[in-house]
Amino acid sequence: MREKLTQTVKQTSLSIVQNEIQAVRRKNISKTGCRVIKDGKIGVAGGLGEVNSEELYARAAQSLDYGIEYDVDISENLQHRTQLDSLKISDSDLCNRISTLLKEIKARHPAFALSNKVNLSHVSLQLENERQLRLEHLDSYLSLSFLIKKQGSTGIMDTFFGLVDRQLDESRVVAAISEIIEAYDNIQPLPCENLPVIIGQSLLTRLFQRDLNGKMLGNKASLFQNQLGKKVFSENFSLQIAGDPVETFGPAFDMEGTITAENLSWLIQNGVITRPYTDKKTARRYGFENTGCADGNYDSVPSLGGANLEIKHSGRTLSELLNGRPGLMVQMASGGDFTPDGQFASPVQVAFLTDGRKLLGRVPEFTIKGSIFDFFGNDFIGLTSDKIYINGNDRMLVTRMAIEKL
């Protein structure tokens, strides 16, 4: 059985230094991987640019001799296409519009400088095989990544704005950056009371990446080893594999051609750990359900990588979750980690006070601490239903953690 995976990335990238475009990079790279699956074994070969598929299949067939097990049900009779590539901006328009945007921010905030990257990407991914599998993902999006630095500051960066979007809404971007800069310049004392912490969910869900991995549970090596089927977290806490390409900017299918069924996408439901995340091989080996999390490069044997995890949102906005009280919105928290038993600690380099509608000022650096069983347990407040534009247009996690001045 033959299977082919084709990736293309056409990208225009602008390098920004001190609010000016310093460089323009263009690339157009295609990558092709061919797989041969035979007698429960797999061989893979890949190449860049123009390739001869027959040569790649021949090399893949040769690599069957390595004897790499792949005794799984091959995806078949499935066609799916996601087309999200409606964003059309010429390179010259992109340069002009970004230049104007950067000048506008400079005019409004002359003491601050923006640097780093704006990328316009057109990506495609196709996976097809001899058993009528044909999956295709087409997307076009802009990635804005601005390091924001105040004149005279000795650090590499002071604050940040990042966004991935399928449109360029200059006025909204300027407003968001202005709000961040104005709040950054308005220093407030760290409140004595322990306010709710508003934070990007991936920082605190990353322990699930490690310990809800099917191999970890299958080998009895997980922190949650004896807790499958048990209520471990808050009734309000549910965790899902995110699979909607509109939200994730990634394909609906994994590298084995699985599209995760909705009922299998829940790893934690109402506080109960229901299943690990898996690919086909892990699911078969350990007797779990396949949740469609096969990962890998275009020329790799598909294997279990990470999962794109998302907490179920609460149906309430940030201001509703804060319920009239202020919260601490964490914007930069670099260097934190979990201990093996689920205790987390991290310095918070930049955080803002907010009432859920606007930023009220910046607080000095502090430390957050907590146990995963608490901040997703009794201390869990919820995931916002609204997307917070100043934080990359993502929904944000609201919970309680111990806060200590640095």
Q: Compute the least distance from the CB of residue 385 to other proteins, in Å.
A: 31
Among 301, 322, 388, 403, binds other proteins (CB under 8 A): 301
Touching other proteins, residues 196-235 (CB under 8 A): 215-216, 219-226
Shortest distance, position 318 Cβ to other proteins, whole Å:
26
The span of 15-23, 131-139, 241-249, 322-330 binding other proteins (CB under 8 A) equals 15-23
All residues at 6 or more sequence positions from 306 whose CB lies less than 8 Å from its CB, including other chains: 209, 213, 293, 295
Cβ 147 vs Cβ 332: under 8 Å = no
365 binds other proteins (CB under 8 A): yes
Cβ–Cβ < 8 Å for 321, 356? yes
CB nearer other proteins, residue 226 or residue 263: 226
Q: From residue 386, give the alpha-carbon distance in Å to each of 57, 269, 361, 389.
A: 47, 21, 21, 9
Say whether residue 194 binds other proteins (CB under 8 A).
no
DSSP, collapsed to helix, strand or coil, labels residue 97 as: helix
Question: In degrees, to the nearest 5, what angle opens at C-alpha 238 toward C-alphas 234 and 240?
Answer: 155
24 binds other proteins (CB under 8 A): yes
367 forms part of the interface with other proteins (CB under 8 A): yes
CB of 184 to other proteins, least distance (A): 13
Return the number of the residue (195 or 216) whose C-beta is nearest other proteins: 216
Q: What does the alpha-carbon distance between residue 386 and residue 376 come to, in Å, rounded to a whole number?
A: 20
- State the DSSP string of 236-298: T--EEE---HHHHSS-SB-TTS-B--GGGSEEEETTEE---B--HHHHHHHTPPP-S-EE--T
- Give the residue, chosen from 178, 248, 274, 303, that forms a contact with other proteins under the rule CB under 8 A: 303
328 and 363 in contact (C-beta within 8 Å)?
yes
Identified binder of other proteins from the candidate list 3, 37, 46, 72, rule CB under 8 A = 46
Answer for which of 18, 79, 90, 100 binds other proteins (CB under 8 A) is: 18
In what helix (H) or strand (E) does residue 27 lie, and over which residues does it extend? strand 20-38
Instruction: Please count the residues of this chain forming the interface with other proteins, following the rule CB under 8 A.
Output: 73
Per CB under 8 A, contacts with other proteins among 248-287 are none
Which residue from 1, 25, 103, 167 is in contact with other proteins, where contact means CB under 8 A? 25
Single residue of 269, 343, 385, 393 touching other proteins by CB under 8 A: 343
> Of residues 140, 346, 354, 399, which one binds other proteins by CB under 8 A?
346
By CB under 8 A, residue 105 contacts other proteins: no
The alpha carbon of 274 is separated from its chain's Cα centroid by a whole number of angstroms, namely: 22
